[in-house]
Structure 1
Amino acid sequence: STRVFSIFTPRTSVQWHEIDSVLIGQHLTPEVEKTGRSKIAAFDLDDTLITINGSHKYPKDENDWKWWSKIVPKKIKQIYEEGYKVVIISNQGSFESSKKTSEKKRKDFMNKINHMANNLNIPFEVYVATARDKYRKPMIGIWNYIIEHGNDGVDI
């Protein structure tokens, strides 16, 4: 196997935890310890902010992605600078498959978000629906969670 040196792996910049069936990632910067803001810009991930780097349907690994457009990172940073909290909401049904496959897909996904965080270098949060329940889009469970618990007590 090929050894990957630490300079090629993402810095650990996103802190992860789970609530019910939602995987939550929070990326903070040294200057920002909380992310609550009165305005929220929420985006889907796949085929909105990023896309697969090729013509296949599903990503092969954590590096198999590119920005949907080269302007996306600049726009996300601009939105943050305009006072919005940046939130990414994603359905990841592949996390429900066999345990071995699911663990690899989950790790690849989390590393992909780390790569994005290192590229953006702004605070943001990621909410991932991992089951077919009230949190999965188009249901509003994740949005309700953000309003009630995920905005550091700041009213939206």
Structure 2
Amino acid sequence: MSTVKIVAEYAKSSRSSCKGCSQAIPAKGLRLGIVNRHPRGFDTTHWHHLDCFPFRSQPIESAEEINGYALLEESDRDALKKLEDEGFRNSDKVAAFDFDGCLVNTSVKRIGADAWSLLYPTIPEKLQSLYNDGYKLVIFTNESNIERWKNKRQQAVDSKIGRLDNFIKLVNVPIQVFIACGLGKGSGQTDDPFRKPNPGMWKLLEEHFNSGIAIDMNQSFYVGDAAGRIKDHSDADIKFAQAIGLKFYVPEEYFAA
């Protein structure tokens, strides 16, 4: 599972640029950073302007959890709280989805933030309806390329995050995202407990990223394309749902009905 933390601070100089818009962040201006732990043991930080930060794809339970929040000026704390209020909804009802092959078409031969297309035209309306009905929307996605591409790892990260951010902008609803970056069985390495069909990502949601609200399993569900059918690449999605105890749908059943 990817280890990510969010930091907030005032830029000491104007040398940093925003990962979202590529423009410079002015000295003394508020900047928010996504901090990732590099496999070699050091941290890498991607800085953003406040308005460019991808809140909808970063699982932040509350603004107070952002490192450095307490040191900000009151107006900037209020701005972060406002974005929080407009963003995620923690709920006892969870509508969960796979990403590749479920919400979007992608190809292993194409990389980049724009290398995807919507799988069904009904998806934005369906997701907006769920959100309006009080559901929390969550994506659980495996992305072993982040571990496998050892010499191009940042390219794999940027491609995956870029696709997720662009999808969420298109559907225009807050979605919490969990990405399992490790390899599965048969890779010669220890099986990643967060990689589907293992239930680690769901447990993380339950225990740490739903404000302690108990999830109603009768109203919650999961949609994924890996259902163990003849043409499916695996059965990871249906086994993930079974391990958790969630109702399961394939995309054509849920979005094309």
TM-score category of the 2 structures, normalised to the smaller one: 0.7 to 0.9
Pair 1:74 & 2:125 matched: yes
**Counterparts of 1:35 and 1:26, CA distance in 2:** 11
- Using the aligned pairs only, state the percent identity: 25
For structure 1, which segment, 64-73 or 25-34, has the greater mean C-alpha deviation from structure 2 after superposition? 25-34
State yes or no: 1:36 paired with 2:87.
no
1:35 Cα deviation after fit: 2.5
Q: Is the 2:60–2:209 contact (alpha carbons within 8 Å) kept by the matching residues of 1?
A: no
1:25 counterpart (58, 69, 73) = 58
CA contact (8 A) 1:95 1:102 kept: yes
Determine the C-alpha separation between the residues in 2 that align with 1:41 and 1:114: 18
| Higher gyration radius (CA) | 2
For the aligned residue pairs, the C-alpha RMSD in angstroms reads 2.5
SS at match of 1:127: strand
Structure with a larger share of its residues in strand: 1
Larger RCO of the pair (alpha carbons < 8 Å, separation 6+): 1
* Deviation of the 1:34 alpha carbon: 4.3
Give the Cα–Cα distance (whole angstroms) in 2 for the partners of residues 110 and 77 of structure 1.
21
- TM-score, length-scaled by structure 1: 0.77
5+ residue gaps in structure 2? 1-20, 23-50, 62-81, 184-191, 216-257
Stretch moving more, 84-93 or 66-75? 66-75
Aligned to 2:68: none
Show the counterpart of 2:17.
none
Supply the distance in 1 between the matched residues of 2:102 and 2:178 (Cα, whole angstroms). 15
Normalized against structure 2, the TM-score is what? 0.49
The one-letter code of the counterpart of 1:119 is L
Q: Distance in 2 between matches of 1:39 and 1:58?
A: 36
1:42 shift after superposition:
0.6
* Distance in 2 between residues matched to 1:61 and 1:39, nearest whole Å: 33
2:237 aligned residue: none
In structure 1, what is the equivalent of residue 172 of structure 2?
121
How many residues are matched?
Answer: 138
User: Where does residue 3 of structure 1 map in the other structure?
Assistant: none
